[in-house]
């Protein structure tokens, strides 16, 4: 059983610190993944059109 008394300020502070450190990394990773997939799709389309011409 989890009681409300378990979640003290002392326990919560490191969680908040961890989240504030992880969020920018997560956003950066998300942007990176989005960029890679966008470039990959564009590149794949380019390769397909070149193969169709060839």
Give the pTM.
0.53
| pLDDT at residue 7, as a whole number | 64
Residue with tokens 């060839």: 54
Dist CA 28 CA 35 (whole Å): 10
| pLDDT at residue 12, as a whole number | 82
Dist CA 16 CA 7 (whole Å): 13
- Label residue 3 left, alpha or beta by phi (over 0 means left) and psi (-120 to 50 means alpha): beta
Taking only the tens place, the pLDDT of each residue in 1-54 is 455 566 677 878 888 899 999 999 999 999 999 999 999 999 999 999 999 987
| pLDDT at residue 53, as a whole number | 85
């Amino acid at each position: 059983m989890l009681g409300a008394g378990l979640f003290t300020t002392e326990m919560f502070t490191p969680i908040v610190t961890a989240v504030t450190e992880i969020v920018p990394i997560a956003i950066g990773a998300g942007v990176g993944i989005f960029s890679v997939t966008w470039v990959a799709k564009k590149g794949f389309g380019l390769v397909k059109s070149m193969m169709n011409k060839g």
